[in-house]
């Protein structure tokens, strides 16, 4: 397998390293267990660096990270790409604004996914994702049907969704941004779970979510 000459070698190396690092971060932050979940980063417009299938995150180096095209065709790397490559590449095909995708099995969010219940806006940080965290209907893992369900649920307005009876899909402008979104998903899911365990959470109104979304767009150092 050979890569097209149009791929920038420095960008490729950087993206592969980011994928390797983010997989370890996902494990350290307890967003998954074992070799579960997967992460990817867009390389240029037409290629994707994605975590390999079934390889422990602690052992993955930049050179181990496979490269696929937007049809999920394996182009480079010794290891087979993630079984969820189709889901990742379908997101990139649909969303030009997405440069990174993170799929986790984080426990609180996955609990709501197993209940097929969206996470409602009981905490203001949910505005990083949208007006709630919606649920994509169940499809078998690793299938194009799962990718289609996730893409349809994300639409253009959400930066994450729950995958029914499965886990979480989070996206961002970059892979680090997608990872932060995944952290926000789990945090908001935990707060909502705890609030429901005590009583009836107070939900933020739609107009406040819109205000927060605008404020978050300018958050941080410009």
Tens-place pLDDT, residues 118-127: 999 999 999 9
Residue 170 DSSP one-character state: E
pTM: 0.95
Given a cut of 80, whether residue 145 has pLDDT beyond it is: yes
**CB-based contact 98:92 (threshold 8 Å):** yes
Q: Cα(64)–Cα(139) distance, rounded to whole angstroms?
A: 29
Ordered by where they begin, the domains of the chain are 9-217 (3.40.225.10)
Is 84 annotated as catalytic? yes
Closest CA to 36 of 85, 104, 88, 130: 104
Terminal CA-CA length for the chain: 41
Q: What is the pLDDT of residue 1?
A: 57
Please compute the mean of the pLDDT values over residues 157-171 and round it to a whole number.
98
Contact 119, 173 (CB under 8 A): no
pLDDT at residue 217, as a whole number = 83
Q: How many CB atoms are located within 10 Å of the residue 61 CB? A: 10
d(CA 187, CA 71): 33
d(Cα 164, Cα 159) in Å, to the nearest integer? 16
- CB burial class (10 A; 0-12, 13-18, 19+) of residue 8? exposed
**pLDDT above 60 (res 47):** yes
Residue 117 has pLDDT above 90, yes or no: yes
How far is C-alpha 207 from the chain's CA centre? 26
- Please give the structure tokens belonging to residue 24: 């370890």
CB count in 10 Å sphere of residue 147: 24
**Contact (Cβ atoms closer than 8 angstroms) between residue 165 and residue 117:** no
Beta-bridged to residue 40, according to DSSP, are 50, 101
Other Cβ atoms closer than 10 A to 41: 29
**Catalytic entry in 30, 58, 84, 180:** 84
**Residue 24 has what DSSP assignment?**
H
The angle, 0 to 180 degrees and rounded to 10, between the axes of the packed helices 107-115 and 175-198 is 70
**218 or 93, greater pLDDT:** 93
Question: Is the CB of residue 66 less than 8 Å from the CB of residue 50?
Answer: yes
Mean pLDDT over the full length of the chain: 95
Task: Annotate 119-139 with b (16+ C-beta within 10 A) or e (fewer).
Answer: bbbbbeebbbbbbbbbbbebb
């Amino acid at each position: 397998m050979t890569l097209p000459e149009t791929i920038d070698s420095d960008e490729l190396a950087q993206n592969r390293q980011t994928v390797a690092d983010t997989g370890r971060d996902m494990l350290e932050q307890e967003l998954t267990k074992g070799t579960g979940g997967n992460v990817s980063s867009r390389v240029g417009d037409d290629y994707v660096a994605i975590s390999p299938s079934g390889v422990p995150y602690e052992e993955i180096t930049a050179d181990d990270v496979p490269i696929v095209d937007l049809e999920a065709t394996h182009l480079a790397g010794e290891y087979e790409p993630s079984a969820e490559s189709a889901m990742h590449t379908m997101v990139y095909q649909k969303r030009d604004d997405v440069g990174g995708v993170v799929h986790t099995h984080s426990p609180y969010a996955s609990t709501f996914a197993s209940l097929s219940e969206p996470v409602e806006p009981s905490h203001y940080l949910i505005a990083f994702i949208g007006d709630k965290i919606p649920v994509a209907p169940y499809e078998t893992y690793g299938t194009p049907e799962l990718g289609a369900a996730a893409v349809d649920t994300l639409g253009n307005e959400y930066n994450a969704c729950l995958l029914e009876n499965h886990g979480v899909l989070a996206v961002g402008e970059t892979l680090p941004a997608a990872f932060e979104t995944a952290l926000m998903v789990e945090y908001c899911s935990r707060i909502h779970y705890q609030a429901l365990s005590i009583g009836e959470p107070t939900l933020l109104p739609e107009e406040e979510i819109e205000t927060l979304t605008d404020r978050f767009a300018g958050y941080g150092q410009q």
